[in-house]
Homo-oligomer: A and B are copies of this chain.
């Protein structure tokens, strides 16, 4: 019982997304989030325990969605497809991509996750580690730290590198990026560690 809600949690998180996407981490204040949807700041704190909690939920939601797609492709075992995933995802989700891939996570949420989302953050890390580990086993016949270095480099670091400049400029990655990532991945994964 009681008064009906005028806003939804999601609206505040989406407002934070828009604000970071346009103005960067420095632009997200509790007032700017509330103002973006004409809500009073009181309504922010009625829903979220702190400013950081909004950002944590935003970041985790994006990361989970990004990672779900990545792990699916990774499980299929195609290295090149997995290495191109980031690029395609950035093209489809340009704003989310900035939040997840352009800024360090610590710019949005302090190194220590706020209580209440630690489980989600830990699961994210665990799932990635597991997915990569079994990919490495399949790709190279057995697990080795050298194989993991190679997979991390080809499937994650290089695609990220190829995309970072565009994220900064706020433009979509060019066609040429596909080729650079594909070539690099094929070459790096061809050689056994």
B-binding residues in A (CB < 8 A): 24, 102-104, 106-107, 146, 149-150, 152-153, 157-158, 160-162, 164-165, 174, 176-177, 180, 183-184, 187-188, 191
Write the nearest CB–CB distance from A22 to chain B, whole angstroms: 13
Q: Is the CB of B176 within 8 A of A152?
A: no
Extra contacts besides A103-B104, A149-B176 (9): CB < 8 Å? A24-B106, A102-B104, A104-B104, A149-B177, A157-B161, A157-B165, A161-B161, A180-B188, A183-B188
Which of the residues B107, B180, B183 comes within 8 Å of A107, measured between beta carbons?
Answer: B107
Which of the residues B24, B104, B149, B176 comes within 8 Å of A180, measured between beta carbons?
Answer: B149
Q: Which 4 A-B pairs have CB atoms at the shortest separation, nearest pair first?
A: A161-B161, A157-B161, A187-B187, A153-B180
CB<8 Å pairs between A and B, sample of 14: A146-B176, A149-B176, A152-B165, A153-B161, A157-B164, A158-B158, A158-B161, A160-B161, A161-B161, A180-B188, A183-B187, A184-B184, A184-B187, A184-B188
Residue of B nearest to A152 (CB): B165
Residues in B with CB closer than 8 Å to A160 are 161
Write the nearest CB–CB distance from A79 to chain B, whole angstroms: 15
Residues in B with CB closer than 8 Å to A106 are 24
